Each structure stands twice: as C-alpha cells, then as structure tokens.
Structure 1
Amino acid sequence: MESVESEAMMMFPVILSGGSGTRLWPLSRSERPKQFLPIVTDRSMMQETILRTAILPNIRGPLIVASEAHGDMVAQQMAEIGVEPSAIMLEPEGRNTAIAIAIAAHWIVKAQGDGLMLVMPSDHVIADLPSFHVAIEQATPAALSGCLVTFGIRPSHAETGYGYIERGEILSDLAGVHKVAQFVEKPARDVAERYVAGGDHYWNGGIFLFTAQSYLRELALHAPEIAAASAEAMADAAHDGAAVRPEPARFRSSPNMSIDYAVMEKTGRAAVIPVDMGWSDVGSWDALWAVRERDANNNCLKDAALTIDSTGNLIYVDGGPPVAALGMHDCVIVSTAEGVLVMPRERSQDVKAIVEMLKGVSFRRPLAQAAE
C-alpha cells in the first residue's frame, strides 16, 4: 500500500453492543443492558466508548452493531452526545462477534473500498486515554500492513476471569508490536500467577485494529461459513437512514462464534501491542467497586446510601429505596425499582445464577416456594 493511501485511510470505530450485562443485575437487564447506563460516569458506557476516539485523526462516525431491540436506544444515545453514526447495524439475533464485525467490514468496503476498523466493546472502561491513543497510533502501521492487531492489557493481578494473550517476537520495523504466540483460555489461579510474574502474557480485552479487507480475507480463509453468511446477509440488507438490517435468514445461518475462535487463534497475521491504560470490562459488581471512587472506609456509595462500622462495600441505589448498612464488610447491596441484590463482593461472578433462577418466577408468592 502506498504511503499516501495509508495516511488517507479513514478509521471507523466499530462498537459492539450485543452484551446483556446479566452480572450487573438488577441494574442491567436485557431490555436495558449496562452499556446504555451511566454506571461509572454521568454518561452511559456506550457514550464514553464513542467519545474516547473522537479526537483521533481521520476518524469517521462510529459503526454500532446492536440488537434490533436496542436500535432506538442507540440512536437516542448518539443524539444526546451530538454524534452522527456512520451506521447502526441491527442484528436480528446475537450470533457472536465474528459475524458482528464482518457485517461492519462489508459496510465499510461497500461505502469506501476499505478502512481501518477500531473494534471495541461498548461496555468497557479505559481510564488512561492518552495511553490508549498512543497504542492506536503504534498499531496503525501494523494494521495497514495486513496484521490483525489486538491490544493486550498489561495485567495488574492474577485474574482467572479473563483470557490471556502470549506475546511472541517483535515485528521488524513496527515499534512495540509483537506477533501473537498464542491465545490462552481463562487459566487456573496458579497459571495466572505465573503469567503475571513472567511478563509475556496480557489480558485479552477484545479490542482490535485492522482493515476491513484484511479481516474479511482472514475470515474467508479460516471461517468460510461465517464469511459467506455475512456477505449474503449484507448483500440483501435493508437500509433505513442510519439503520442497516442484514437479511435475517442469511444472518442466522452463520455459526455462533467469537472473533477469537473464528479468526484470531488461527490466523498467522495476529499481532499484539501491550498497553497499560486503566482498562476494566466492568463485568461484575466487584469490578465496578474497583473502578468507582471510594471513601476512607473503602466503601463505594451511590445516591441514598449510608454506612456505620462498615468497610469495603459497594452500595448502589438507583430508583430503589434508600439503604443503610450497619456492620457490613465487603458486600454488595444494590437497590433499584426492579429488584434488590445483597451478596458478598466475592460472589459477584455468580449473579448470572440469580438471573437464571428468576426466569419465570412470579413475586406474587414467596421466592422459595416459586423455586420448588
């Protein structure tokens, strides 16, 4: 690729908004998942995700891939921050990230021939934006050369809830960018501790940079069924202003597969750039406690909450009754109009079990009786 073309290539933020955020129940629910909520700041997590790339050079309006059920919500949130999306891609059902990214890639190819895709989940926190922007700048030459670049988060502790990326040799003439040696599934505690101590492994945050053409070529090579389904779905897509609806039957014919399984773990073009940027996926109430401001007793209090002789708690009131905690330590208490949650912080990853249990339960009779 000629240098003039490289400098002129537009970058499209591709925002993946298919998650349901069940681990943040009762605040986050299927009809209004966490990415649409102002959980960490006064803006929603999606709005923060979009605004964090607004100052980048050659940036275009975002491409947002979301559920059909959330289309109006996406449009409203974009209008609130004065951002005009390039397109809002509305999926008839969730089929994971490989095809979600593919339909965005097809849109870019049809609209512009090619373009850089900065793929980001809509519900993550990045506290250090300058470091993120520097990493994007460093990753861009690799992406323009045909690499599929992922951003490896420098681990702050031995986390067992994330996948890891092992870096390989550094790519020649590409400062700070390494080949990917391997992707690793969520490890056991002792393995995670070894990874952190060794310094060659990074958390897999699900953030990528590559060109649309590069991604579609690798997808066709390693996951041809997804490639075919995405191409056919976009060939017959319906357009209504910014809203783009892939043809439902062809879209649903795609295998349900993440970009990691479909492409990144198979391609020889995977690259990783390590970055320390204050990242969190805010995937649990415990993670939210870690990223929000806390008082002298390590309590994080939101709205109508007070504590006595209590430490290390997250008390989050949003539309529910006020909460007073006495002698509580390392707990989560969430009060909303839809429900109340009380649990030890260390059980935050188990909230999904509650969501499953509540399916079909009526609160007109005791919960214990309903579960029998």
Structure 2
Amino acid sequence: MTAQVRITPVILSGGSGTRLWPMSRPDRPKQFLPLASDATMFEATVARCADRSRFAAPMVVANARHADLIEAQLGGAEATLVLEPLARNTAPAIALAALLADPASPLLVMPSDHVIADEAAFMAAVDAALPLVADGWLTTFGIAPDGPETGYGYIQTGEVLSAGVHKVARFVEKPDRARAEAMIAGGDHVWNGGIFLFRADAFLGALAVYEPDMLAAAQRAVATAKREGSRILPDEAAFAASPSESIDYAVMEKAAKENGGRVAVVPVAMGWSDVGSWDALHTLGSDADGNAHHGEVIALDTSNCLIRSDGIRIAAVGVHDLIVVASGNDVLILPRGQSQDVKRIVEAMKAKQDA
C-alpha cells in the first residue's frame, strides 16, 4: 500500500433486494442472507476490509430499520453505523460518510451485497489506484466482462494513466444486446461494478460543483445528527431535502465528461457478481448436472435447476431448467432465464395488497 493514511471502507447497505424474493424481504434483504457461502454477503464485505494495517474501521451506511441486524452480523467488530432515515440513493449516502471521514482519507465505497471471489486481485487493483487517489482522482473499478450482459452499465477505458489504470473515456447506459456485443468485441469496455475509491475531500469537492443542493442537504443532516454510541442518525428533515441520485449520475459521469476530467478506472477480473437474480446465484456454483440445491431438497432426475429452501422440504422429479425457492409460506417457481421477472411478482403482490 502506497498511501500513508489508512483506507476507510464505506459499506453501502441500503438495498431491498426484491429480485431475490421470497428469501430477500424488506426486513432482511439479500445482503444479510447466506446465499453465496456460509457467511452472509454483508459479513463477507466486512471481512474483506478487516486488515487494520490497511483499513480503518468501516463506516456502514444503511437503512435505520436494519441497525440491530447489522450490529449482530458485525459480531463485535468496530464500525460506525450511519443510519439513513429514508432512502436517497447512493450519492447522498456516500456524502454522509465523506462528511464524517477524515478529509484526506481514501474512501473505498463497496456495496454490501456483492461477491468477490478473488480478493487478492481486488486488493491489487486498489493498490494500483491509490497513487492517483492520493492526487485527487476519482476512481472506479471496471469488471472484466465475460459476455455481452445487458443488465449492467459499461465503462469505456481511455488512455493508460499508470500500470493497470486507465482514464475513463465515457460511461455507457445499459445497452441492448447488439450494442453490448459490439462493445465486448471492441475490447475496451468493462462492466460498471459500482465500487469506488477516492479521497473524501475529492468527492465532496466534486459534489459541490455538480450537486450543490445535495451537498448542502447532507451537511445539514450531519450537522444536526444524533449520536448514540457507534450509531449516527442524520436529521430526517434535512436529509429528505436532498435530491435522490446515484453516484454515477450525480458525480462520476459528469466529472468524466469535463475537459481533462480526473476520473480513472481500474479493470479487474476478480470473480465478481452482484447476485442480482436467482439466475446469477445459479451461475456461482452448480454440480455436474448443473444443479445448485440448498436446504431440505430431494431431487431425482433433475438438471440445470436451482432449488432452495430455508424451511420446508422440496421434492422434485424429472424437472429441468427450473428455479424453485421456498421461504416461510411462499414458494417461487419459474423457468431459468426468467428470474428478472421476480420483480413483476413482487409488484403484483403489492398491488393486490394495496387494492
């Protein structure tokens, strides 16, 4: 590590994870579930930055309703909990953390619900970015793509700034299939994985230029925040006044478009997944028959299925290419390849409940 100041991890844990219903629910979203391993994704994210020679204690920016759950999963590890009174997307959430951090501290912003299989590759990418970060650059990490995925945004890599680090040429919205294939074929595009590294003061400086109202709202929310031990509760009325915007739209894309904009990307192959669907979870691990089963499951003559239960027994015979998930009183059944439609199910249930 080249920086003198330890990196402050900023773990974002505000997502609801509805695409992994019925196991992921508002009171216990996917980051708090042991889906990809015996540990939850939140626990794995905390463990990723446990080396105190490298990292300061993390800041966890999260929904206030999950405070007790987060403390339980921290297992006594030191952390500051910044508890959002309401959701305002990633840019205001990061602003809260940046205002509470040492201005010179590099902030490693990580969603709490991502899988990183090759953590050594990730740490090498962090080390590659640090010299530019110390010089005030905003950096992000581009995921080496393994196919023309249409569910992610992309980043086009520009000129080489240092070994393994490129200037960002542009950010690209989620493309259609043909455009994704063309970008992959060109070899100069990576997936936007939503992981960032920058000094706190550099981010706040960019926010002052591009989203001054957001910065002002975050400043008021922090100035009047309540503190209860390791918990910080920003003022609700002040935070509610903030525009709701992602860091990509609020800062990164605008900064990259500036003439001479100091935004860098480090492409990295690190076994990354955002576990954004049951299909994505299936690809993380299956047996010789293409099955990924977990819990009380009896499966005969099945192939290419994900069958998972956290309670009741599921018995399947002679089925193929299915997703079957049981949790509590709910059972989800749909063909593999259509797990993005879970969102439609959740919306239909909400509409029925509201009717």
Shorter-chain TM-score bucket reads over 0.9
**Does structure 1 retain, via aligned residues, the 8 Å contact 2:295–2:309?**
yes
When structure 1 is superposed on structure 2, of 256-265 and 300-309 the one drifting more is: 300-309
Partner of 1:216: 204
- Verify the 8 A CA contact 1:230 1:254 in the aligned structure 2: yes
- Quick check: 1:166–1:180 contact (8 Å CA) kept in 2? yes
Structure 2 portions without partners, runs of 5+: 256-260
Give CA-to-partner distance per residue, 1:289-331, whole Å, 9 cap, x none.
Answer: 0113x22211011021122222100001112x21122221111
Among residues 55, 78, 94, which one is paired with 1:84 in the alignment? 78
Matches of 2:230 and 2:62, distance apart in 1: 13
1:43 deviates by: 1.1
Number of residue pairs the alignment of both structures matches: 350
The alignment status of 1:16 with 2:19, answered yes or no, reads no
Q: Summarize the Cα distance change of 1:113–1:272 in structure 2 as closer, same or farther, 3 Å threshold.
A: closer
**Which residue is 1:309 aligned to?**
301
Are the aligned partners of 1:132 and 1:277 in contact in 2 as well (CA < 8 Å)? yes
* 1:242-281 correspondence to structure 2 within 5 Å: 242-267=230-255, 268-281=261-274
What is the CA–CA distance in structure 1 between the aligned matches of 2:337 and 2:211, rounded to whole Å?
38
1: CA distance, partners of 2:104 / 2:331 = 48
Report the secondary structure of 2:338's partner residue.
Answer: helix
Matches within 5 A, 1:98-109: 98-108=91-101
What are the residue-to-residue correspondences of 1:25-104 with 2, within 5 Å? 25-55=21-51, 57-79=53-75, 82-85=76-79, 87-104=80-97
Tell me the distance in 2 between the aligned counterparts of 1:235 and 1:269.
30
Identity percentage over the alignment?
51
For 1:73 and 1:220, the matched residues in 2 are separated by: 34
Q: How far did 1:56 drift?
A: 6.7
Alignment match, 1:239: 227
Instruction: Using the TM superposition, give the Cα deviation of residue 52 of structure 1 relative to its aligned residue in structure 2, in angstroms.
Output: 1.2
Gaps in structure 1 of 5+ consecutive residues: 363-369
Q: 2:271 matched to 1:290?
A: no
Cα distance per residue 1:19-43 (max 9 Å; x no partner): 0000000000011100111111111
The alignment partner of 1:7 has SS state of: coil
Residue type at the aligned position of 2:310? D
1:347 aligns with 2:338: yes
Q: C-alpha distance in 2, partners of 1:298/1:91?
A: 41
Equivalent residue for 1:141, pick from 131, 143, 146: 131
Quick one: structure 1 residues 220 and 158, their matched pair in 2 at CA, closer, same or farther if it must change by over 3 Å? same
Distance 1:7 1:185 in 2: 33
Hey, what's the Cα distance between the residues in 2 that align with 1:97 and 1:295? 36
| In 2, Cα distance between equivalents of 1:360 and 1:183 | 35
2:324 corresponds to: 333
Of 108, 113, 128, 2:118 maps to 128
**CA shift in 2, pair 1:113/1:198, >3 Å:** closer
| 2:315 counterpart residue number | 324
What secondary structure is seen at the aligned counterpart in 2 of 1:29?
A: coil
Deviations 1:107-155 (A, max 9, x none): 00xxx34311000000000001110010011111111111110000000
Query: Aligned partners of 1:26, 1:308: CA distance in 2, in Å?
Result: 24
RMSD: 1.5
Shift of residue 90, structure 1, vs aligned partner: 0.4
User: What SS class does the counterpart of residue 191 from structure 2 fall into?
Assistant: strand
The correspondence for 2:350, drawn from 359, 362, 368, is 359
Counterpart residue number, 2:258: none
After superposition, the Cα gap between the structure-2 partners of 1:306 and 1:187, relative to the gap in structure 1 and judged at 3 Å, is same
- Indicate if the aligned counterparts of 1:66 and 1:88 stay in contact, CA closer than 8 A: yes
Separation (CA, whole Å) in 2 of partners of 1:177 and 1:54: 25
Match 1:150 to one of 134, 140, 144: 140
Where 2:198 maps in the other structure, the secondary structure is strand
Give me the whole-angstrom Cα distance separating, in 2, the residues matched to 1:282 and 1:7.
32
